[in-house]
Structure formats: C-alpha cells, structure tokens
Amino acid sequence: MHYATLAALLDATTFAHLERLGIAEGWQCWEVGAGATSVPTWLAQRVGPSGYVLATDIDPSFLQSTGSPPFEVRRHDILLDPAPTQTFDLVHARLLLEHLPDPDVALARMANALRPGGWLLIESADPQLQPLACPDPTSPSEELANRVLQTCWTLQSARTDLAYGRTLPRRLRGPGLLDIAAEVRFSLAGPAPRQLHRTLIQRVQDRLIGSQLVTAEEVEQHLGDIDAGRLDLAAFPVVSAWGRKPL
C-alpha cells in the first residue's frame, strides 16, 4: 500500500522528468533503490526490447512480486556492493539518498556508472521546505494535524536528513555533472496525501505516544479525522534534480 501511495503521488512527475531528459528506445537504465515496480516497468516500456533496465534494492522482494518483470532485478546495497560493470544512459534514484548515512558516496557511485552524456536524475524529500500537514490551519483538528506531523518529523530526523532535497543541485556538481537543474513539487490535498500521512503516523505510532508530545487519544483522534476526510493534508515536498556526465 505504501509503494502504491508513493506511485500515485510521484510517478507522473518522475515520468515527466524522464521524458524531458529524452529517454528513448535502446537506452540502458539503472533504477537504484527501486522499492517497487512502477518506475522500472515504465522504463522498460520506454526503452523497448533493444534497451535494458536494471532495478536494484537492498530488499528486492517487492520487485520480484510480479513473477517475471520486464527488467533485471538484483539485490544491491549502493554503499557496500560493487557497482554494475556496464555504463548507463540513465541512472535514477527516488527517496533514497536522504536515508543513507553517506549519500555523497552513493551519489558518486551512480555518477560513475553513467556513460559520457548520460543523465543522473535524483529525487529526494525535503519536508522542512514545507513541514506542515495543513498549511492553512483553520480548525483545532488541523492544528492537531500539524502538531502530530511535527512530532513525526522530530522522531525521523535522527535517521533521515529532512532538508536533503534542497542540497541536490550543489551535490550534483561534486561528481562534475553539467546542465544541472532542479524542481520541487508536492500535493496539497487529495486521497493520496491522506493515505501517505496515515502511513507516516502508523509507522511511528508507538514512538509518537512514547514521546509524550502527543497523547494516544490525540493520535486516535487525528487518525479518525483522516479517515473521515475532514482534513486537506499536504504531502512532503520532493526535489527532483538532474545533471549530465560530460562527453
């Protein structure tokens, strides 16, 4: 369910960026930290039988859930395992680097895997660009939503860089990439942001209550508000940044 929610929120933007970069038949692509199948499946459809898509993840179980996907699946830790031996026209990672202890190492490995002229597209969350659940709070329920989400971000900050996305243009210059550009996007309301918000809370619900910053009753009230559709909840911002390896 979580992967389906992320796909509903993010895939259209990801695919639009890939189209802008000129993805075409015959391209060799590496999807790093793929998670689930929506992006590598789309890539495989675009590059056709003359192309190649490698989807890697530290836990490839979701990638293999369809039986015979139209792409190669490998278990791979971008920080520990050797990079693929071939070079790629495109390397893409989404919602990955902000969770790693040494993202610059991962970024350098992905850039090194590009052929001359190849593109690196990185998409990373940056909740601190807009940290509110309800950017326009007008009721106690919306104020509670903001307080619950702020506590979630506080709990996650120990293992996730909540301001990583905005650093991507600078970081892409480190490996010497050219033609760097970036955009930021987030959804302001709708069913997918509501589902995402519920998932974020459920993942840390015990820690939320244990923090003593919100009570168990407040968490249950907030989840009830989500389920009743009383809140227009915003998803976290995602920064998409891309650069090209020099010829």
pLDDT value for 68? 78
- Mean pLDDT within 221-240: 94
pLDDT value for 72? 94
Instruction: Give residue-wise pLDDT tens across range 91-136.
Output: 999 999 999 999 999 999 999 999 999 999 999 999 999 999 999 9
Ordered by where they begin, the domains of the chain are 1-126+163-187+236-247 (3.40.50.150), 129-159+190-231 (no CATH)
Residue 181 tokens, joined: 């550009």
The Cα 36–Cα 62 span in angstroms is 5
The Cα 186–Cα 122 span in angstroms is 16
The Cα 129–Cα 10 span in angstroms is 17
- Mean pLDDT within 25-41: 96
Is residue 1's pLDDT more than 70?
no
pLDDT value for 163? 96
Burial 105-124 (b: 16+ CB within 10 A, else e): ebbbbbbebbeeebbbbbbb
